[in-house]
Amino acid sequence: MFRLWIHSAKQIVQVVSNGERVLTGNAMKNVSTLESDDVNKGYSIIVDHKGKIVDLGRDDEICAKYKKEQFEKTLDATGCSVIPGFVDGHTHPVWVGDRVHEFAMKLAGATYMEVHRAGGGIMFTVDRVRRASVDELYTSLKQYAMKMLRCGSTFAEMKSGYGLDAENEIKMLQVINRLIKDEEVPLGVSVTYCGAHAVPKGSTAAEATEDVISNQLPQIKALMDSGDLNVDNIDVFCEQGVFDVDQTKRILEAGVEAGLAINFHGEELHQLNSAEMGAEMKARAISHLEEISDEGITAMAKSGSVGVVLPTTAYILRLSPPPVRKMIEGGMAVALGSDFNPNAHCFSMPLVVHLACVTMHMSMNEALVAATLNAASSLGQSDRIGSLEVGKQADLLVLNSARWEHIVYQFGSHADVIREVIKDGKIVHTNQ
Ligand SMILES: N=CN[C@@H](CCC(=O)O)C(=O)O
Ligand SMILES: [Zn+2]
C-alpha cells in the first residue's frame, strides 16, 4: 500500500533532480520542473507508507505501473502546481509578550541598537521569557508553529536566546524539544542554542562569554548526552556592542566541541569580518550578512558556508539589504529565512521569498532554491528534504495555480494560493 497519489498536476517543481545537496552561484538560476505543453498530460507523485517519495512522472506512465486500490489516498491536482514545502532557515519563535510599541518607536526613527541600548529589543523579550512558564512558552510556540505550517513551511530552524542564563536557555530548548516530541504540529525542526544572543544585564560580554562556555554549554551537553535534550546548532549574535569576533569564535569552538554545527548571526549592522572568521571555521551557515565584504563573500564561497539572508530584517529596520547579487555571482550558496522574532513579526515564507526578489534582486528561481534546498542545506537536512526527488520526504505544497510563480507574485495572498500543505505524505492543512 502507498500513502498518497497526487495526480494531474500541471507542474511539479522538483528544484533539483540529480540528488544535489546544495546549489551555489549560477546553479541557483535553474529549477528542475516536470511540465508538459499538452493540456491533457498531467504529472503524478507517489508517496509510500513511510512518507517518502517513491515515484514521480507522467500520469499515464504512473497509471501503467500502479493500481488505484494501492493508494490510501488520491489527490486530484488538475490545474495546480506542486513545489517542495518551504524550509525556514532562521527563526526566534519561543517568546511571549509582543513588541508592537517598539515598532512605533522604530517608525518614528529609533534604530535597532538605540532600542536595544534603552533596555528594549532582545532584553525586553528576555524579561518576559524568564518570567514565563514552560507551558506558557509551549502554548505560544505551538500557535506560531501552526501558523508557519499554514504559510507553507514544513521545516524550520528554531533558536533559544531569550533566556541568557543556563536555567532559561535550557527552558527554551526544552520547549522546542517538546514541540518535536509531542508531534502536535507536524513541522520539522532544527534546534539551535543561542545563549550568546545578548549580554545579560549586569554582565560584560567577556563574563557572558565565559558563562556560555563554562557553565551553559556543559549543562546542555550533559542533557544531550543523557538523551534528555536534542540540540543541533550553535549560534552567537556577533555584532558591535554585543559579542565581538574573538568571543564569537571561542563560543563557536566550544559548541563544535559539544557536537553542534556552526550557524551564527554575522555582519548584520557592522562589518566585523565575522564572515571570514566563520568561513575559516567551516561554518555550516552564517545569517544576515547585510554588511559582508567582498573578501567575506570569497571566503564563504570557498568554504561552502551557506549565507542565510533575511529580507524581513532589512525591510523592518530600513537597512540596506545584503549584497545578494554579489554573493550569487561570487559562487556562494544563498538560503532564506523569515527571522520570525518580536522585532520582525513575519513567519510567512511566501512573503519572504517575494521580498527577496524585490528588495534583494533575486530571481524567482533563485529565491525558491534559497527557500527550499539551500535552506535545508544550511541546517544539514538536504539529504532528506528541500527538493521533490525519489527517496526524499514528501513535504510539499499543492498550489491553486498552474504556474508555481504565483506563490511569489501574489504577495500577501499565500492563504489563497496554497491549496494543501502536505508533510510526510499527509495532508496537514487544506484551504478549499
Ligand atoms: N539580530 C539579532 N537577533 C534577531 C533579533 C532578535 C530580537 O530583536 O528579538 C535577528 O536575527 O534579527
Ligand atoms: Zn536572528
Query: Is the pLDDT assigned to residue 432 strictly greater than 80?
Result: no
Q: In 86-213, which ranges are E strands?
A: 86-88, 153-159, 188-196
Q: What type of residue is 308? A: V
What's the pLDDT band for 118 if we cut at 50, 70, 90? confident
Query: Are residues 89 and 337 in contact, defined by beta-carbon separation less than 8 angstroms?
Result: yes
Q: How far is the CA of 93 from the centre of ligand 2 (A)?
A: 10
**Angstrom distance (rounded) from CA 174 to CA 212:** 17
Residue 398 DSSP SS3? strand
- For ligand 1, atom 7, the nearest C-alpha belongs to 122
Beta-carbon contacts of 429 under 8 Å, excluding residues fewer than 6 positions away, are 149, 150, 418, 420, 421
User: Ligand 1 within 6 A of 343 CB?
Assistant: yes
pLDDT tens digits, residue range 195-242? 999 999 999 999 999 999 999 999 999 999 999 999 999 999 999 999
**Angstrom distance (rounded) from CA 159 to CA 169:** 10
User: Ligand 1 within 6 A of 102 CB?
Assistant: no
What's the pLDDT band for 38 if we cut at 50, 70, 90? confident
User: Ligand 1 within 6 A of 323 CB?
Assistant: no
User: Ligand 1 within 6 A of 341 CB?
Assistant: yes
- For ligand 1, atom 9, the nearest C-alpha belongs to 122
User: Ligand 1 within 6 A of 122 CB?
Assistant: yes
Taking the whole predicted model, whether its pTM rises above 0.90 is answered as yes
Query: Are residues 395 and 188 in contact, defined by beta-carbon separation less than 8 angstroms?
Result: yes
Q: What is the pLDDT at residue 339?
A: 98
Query: Is the pLDDT assigned to residue 295 strictly greater than 80?
Result: yes
CA angle 216, 221, 227 (to 5 degrees): 135
pLDDT tens digits, residue range 124-173? 999 999 999 999 999 999 999 999 999 999 999 999 999 999 999 999 99
**Angstrom distance (rounded) from CA 267 to CA 131:** 31
Mean pLDDT of the chain, nearest integer: 97
User: Ligand 1 within 6 A of 381 CB?
Assistant: no
Q: What is the pLDDT at residue 290?
A: 97
Q: How far is the CA of 314 from the centre of ligand 1 (A)?
A: 11
Query: Are residues 50 and 4 in contact, defined by beta-carbon separation less than 8 angstroms?
Result: no
What's the pLDDT band for 117 if we cut at 50, 70, 90? confident
- For ligand 1, atom 11, the nearest C-alpha belongs to 339
DSSP at 39:
T
| Domain parsing of the chain, residue ranges | 2-85+388-430, 86-379
Q: What is the pLDDT at residue 190?
A: 98
Average pLDDT over residues 288-303: 98
The fold of 2-85+388-430 is Urease, subunit C; domain 1 (2.30.40)
Q: What is the pLDDT at residue 40?
A: 79
Query: Is the pLDDT assigned to residue 402 strictly greater than 90?
Result: yes
Q: How far is the CA of 237 from the centre of ligand 1 (A)?
A: 8
Q: What is the pLDDT at residue 116?
A: 86
Residue among 426, 327, 332, 408 nearest 377 (CA): 332
Query: Are residues 169 and 193 in contact, defined by beta-carbon separation less than 8 angstroms?
Result: yes
Q: What is the pLDDT at residue 97?
A: 95
User: Ligand 1 within 6 A of 268 CB?
Assistant: yes
Lowest-confidence range among 109-113, 258-262, 290-294? 109-113
- For ligand 1, atom 1, the nearest C-alpha belongs to 237
Which atom of ligand 1 sits closest to the CA of residue 125? 9
Upper half-sphere CA count for residue 121 (Cβ side, 13 Å):
18
Residue among 141, 2, 4 nearest 73 (CA): 4
Between residues 262 and 317, the one the model is more confident about:
262
CATH architecture, range 86-379 = Alpha-Beta Barrel (3.20)
Lowest-confidence range among 109-118, 317-326, 359-368? 109-118
Q: How far is the CA of 295 from the centre of ligand 2 (A)?
A: 23
User: Ligand 1 within 6 A of 92 CB?
Assistant: yes
Residue among 311, 308, 273, 315 nearest 292 (CA): 273
Q: What type of residue is 294? A: D
- For ligand 1, atom 10, the nearest C-alpha belongs to 339
Q: What type of residue is 319? A: L
DSSP at 259:
T
Q: How far is the CA of 342 from the centre of ligand 1 (A)?
A: 8
Residue 253 DSSP SS3? helix
Query: Are residues 368 and 389 in contact, defined by beta-carbon separation less than 8 angstroms?
Result: no
